Structure 1
């Protein structure tokens, strides 16, 4: 298919400019190999419908799997997916069949698809990659109604939905019927099964389930709340991890030096700017991932934060150094698929979508491990949210050292962080040695002034 070969070259010229010449050559060879394979399968130069058949892609996966490992095959699948998207955007095909396969069988990602295609029975292997349907258990209907009620009251209830879905699956696997109710012992076992969660997450999940069953009790569907009679979880008050400014600089430097990888040119610059944004603006991770190009106003020096927790939106004014850094980032930022619309994500992943929390977290954990960042006793480990803690504490420290009226400034910090009230902001004001020292010096100065002033006052 000479026409398809010409399109492959055009696709490479347009979409692979950010890659090294050797990498681009390898990717183009992948596409030419697929072109030859599908032509031998009966493809016609004027019949593009052949590229929209799942059978052709699965047959190609099986053919490639005989001599290519699943990691390499997953990479080839992503290259082919991008090429199909290129054809779709030019109305040469009506659907991207690889994208459809990826959405329908999302478990294990691209490697899962590659592994399934290499197997002797790809259909059965693909079915194992289907996500389990939610809320099909004994309490599924009531949980969906409860989630809908909370969202009508203004809550996002995303983490809570995942928690209740997991609980419903657990109860379904235990063969508990609705009429049997939920013994408290099953709540204990469910929480014990959450081996990958830390103490804070377990307490949050327990609280979510308690609120659901309390609502069920108010509807007279159960007599007692099984969570309240379950075994209480051990509770420790852990202080958040606060980065020092030196640690912040090292994190940004290490992020900047990260090498580019296939489909992710300027990878280091992207992660450096993302981490700098979390620290300099004190954003939540979800707020960072939702940033769009239209949210930046360089002319007025403002950044628009879209509705997040409590459905609150706000405008923040970054400092001049941050804006200068952002302008430089915009110059080197990879424009995947030449997407420059207003709704284009500011921090893009491989395929032009918003960068995911999981990607940010994985990269940060690798950097923290490389730096040897370890929590002290009674302290939570370093995480992405630690940037937000550090922003709040460092700002407070600067105010103390500058002789500012900190109590008068707290509402400003609360508004900048997007909190409903000052009480929410106090969570971030964890005491560090430098902050305690500044508070001590100010208190000492106040006492001395008051003491000497009292001695000079005539009786």
Structure 2
């Protein structure tokens, strides 16, 4: 039965670290649709008819891609399951170009975070430390908010069960480790038994993403950090992007060193694939210009 195959598929992929909340909803919906059609195996015609229920071309493409991934899994177990073709719907995912903060902007952001009210509370220290940590390490905001005091070690921060259920050690510069140590002095004054590193100054419960993102936007406005009129406003996640771009800009020039540097950055940032790191090479004008200049110099050198 399709529902049993779907349950098995979800269990297997979740053991690999995929959450699949959206995919589960789509697959359950498709199973009901297929059952009404009398299907007990994946059928291409039924899959496309179900995918066409999406309200836009992009939505239809997403729906069908979910079924294709499931169908490939199911087909490996039972050949009667058909695998729908790719590119039935014309849609290409366009990744949003990140906002890359300058060093001066990051300084202004941290200074403004230190001015948050109430001035005698934990709030200024919490947000200046949090934003500084994201800028200095490239951690995901979800990873930073999940940190516990026990995750702070002499060797760095232990990021546990992050995206794709991967854990890793994030080494810290001495200045970052010192800033966290200073924050902990204030942090210990907050009443409450919660062990999260970043907590609310009211009640000591774990700091949530929504309030952190909202506070970040308020700090950006106060610091005068704005995107150009034709670009989306900066986000918390752009601190991670900025770290990645800076790291790639300092990459050594020799081919072997470039490969080692990029692989190290992929591991440090917790990317699932090195291609996720390569994306930054063509996502920002500065790096694109640097690559073009390097290629031009190489070609001119070869021609001379």
Task: Give TM-score, length-normalised by structure 2.
Answer: 0.72
How far did 1:223 drift?
4.3
**What CA distance in whole angstroms lies between the structure 1 residues aligned with 2:186 and 2:211?**
20
More displaced 10-residue stretch of structure 1: 326-335 or 227-236:
227-236
Q: Equivalent residue of 2:53, what SS?
A: helix
Q: Does 1:290 align with 2:146?
A: yes
Change (3 A) 1:351 1:189: farther
Aligned to 1:251: 109
Distance in 2 of aligned mates of 1:375 and 1:367: 17
Deviations 1:221-270 (A, max 9, x none): 75463x85853335445433322223323333343333249xxx522322
**Structure number with larger C-alpha Rg:** 1
Q: CA deviation at 1:280?
A: 0.6
3-state DSSP class of the match of 1:363? helix
Q: Cα distance, 1:430 vs. partner?
A: 4.0
Partner of 2:53: 189
* Partners of 1:210 and 1:239 in 2: CA distance: 28
Match of 2:35 among 178, 184, 203: 178
Match of 1:147 among 10, 26, 35: 10
Which among 166, 191, 210 is matched to residue 312 of structure 1? 166
Q: 1:444 Cα shift? A: 7.6
Distance change (3 Å), C-alpha of 1:400 and 1:208: same
Deviations 1:299-331 (A, max 9, x none): x35222223234433323211221221122112
Alignment of 1:390 with 2:242, yes or no, is yes
Distance in 1 (CA, whole Å) between partners of 2:287 and 2:252 is: 8
**Structure 1's 292 and 351: CA in aligned 2 closer, same or farther, altered over 3 A?**
same
2:25 is aligned to 166
- SS of the aligned residue for 1:303 comes to strand
Q: 1:393 Cα shift?
A: 1.1
Q: How many residues align?
A: 292
Report the CA distance between 1:296 and its aligned residue.
1.2
For 1:393 and 1:150, locate their aligned partners in 2 and report how far apart those are by CA, in whole Å.
31
Aligned pairs (5 A) from 1:84-95: none
Do the aligned partners of 1:256 and 1:268 also contact (CA within 8 Å) in 2? yes
Give unpaired runs (5+ residues) of structure 2: 40-45
Deviation, 1:390, is 0.7
Residue 49 of structure 1 aligns with which residue? none
Closer/same/farther in 2, CA of residues 448 and 368 from structure 1, 3 Å limit:
same
Unmatched segments (≥5 aa) in structure 1 = 1-137, 194-198, 455-459
Q: Normalising to structure 1: TM-score of the pair?
A: 0.51
